[in-house]
Amino acid sequence: MPLKTIAVFVDPSAAGEARTAYAVKLAFHHGAHLIGIFVVPVGWDGSPSESFVRGQAAIRQLIERHAATEAAATDVANRSFSTVSTREDISFEFRILRHGDANEGATLNALHSDLVIVSGPRSGELPREWSAESLLLATGVPFLLLPERWTGATAEHVVVAWNASREARRAIADALPLLVEARSVTILVVDPQKNSRHGEEPGADVALYLSRHGAKVAVERVESNGEPVADVILGFAKRHNNDLIVVGAYSHSRTTEMIFGGVTRRLLRDATIPLLIAH
């Protein structure tokens, strides 16, 4: 399925502008509609002095001051997003999520997008109760986690972490529009002999599948030699100047907290290039 709707969580910062610029380039390349989502920061900072405010006039002034602060932050974010988005010939819109409905709004906007772009696993631009991981698990929509102020290319040289799992297969399906357009795609198989699901030629079948879609694919099989698998993936991506890692998220837990698998957690924590994660 092609990318036709891309959502990006924005904020009026240098990192937010870089995130928007990346999303704009991606939307332009794929002919997608871009949605900028801004979670309005809560104007109430919990200052102890505010609890002593008395009288209707004083309380009204306090409410008006906080409302003005929120309105100013929203206006700055809107202008920042619009300025970056108008640099390319794309369709775009700016959506506002206020703290009262931010949780439901974040979920709905993710559900109706092909891809969601945020700054990292604990993205400050998301509602307080949400992380990229929790939204991913709640919606099933792939998330692209962008390192702060990333200025590299948009998915030209991609490495796919392949372990023949359902989650890895789902990640490939979600990333297919990016993989087909990339200049190169590497199927990276770590410790292939330890996983019987790979078959006789680990990575060959999924590479053939992608090549039939038009992707330019190569297969690399490497040994971890006792090194953490996530470090092997990250090291490979760095050595080969990859600008996107595609990985399927794995969860060991069925509880509401949903603990991610060790490789996924480490990638989320340590990745210094964009990471597309699907579940």
Residues 6+ apart with CB under 8 A from 20: 8, 10, 36, 80, 81, 84, 85
Range(s) within the chain of domains with CATH label 3.40.50.620: 5-42+72-145, 157-278
- Burial (CB count within 10 angstroms: exposed 0-12, middle 13-18, buried 19+), residue 269: exposed
Residue type, 108: L
Could you tell me the fold of the domain covering 157-278? Rossmann fold (3.40.50)
Q: Kindly list the averaged pLDDT for each block of 10 residues, start to end, along the chain of length 279.
A: 93 89 96 95 57 60 70 92 94 90 87 92 70 82 89 93 94 97 97 90 96 98 94 96 92 43 82 92
Helices (H), 148-270: 166-181, 204-212, 229-239, 262-270
Topology of domain 5-42+72-145, CATH:
Rossmann fold (3.40.50)
C-alpha 260/C-alpha 213 separation (Å) is: 30
Give me the pLDDT at residue 256, please. Answer: 35
106, 235 contact by CB (below 8 A): no
Residue 62's pLDDT is 56
The predicted pLDDT at position 28 comes to 96
| Cβ–Cβ < 8 Å for 152, 234 | no
Closest CA to 184 of 160, 150, 212, 151: 160
Residue 255 confidence (pLDDT)? 42
Which pLDDT does position 149 carry in this prediction? 75
Predicted local distance difference test score (pLDDT) of residue 144? 95
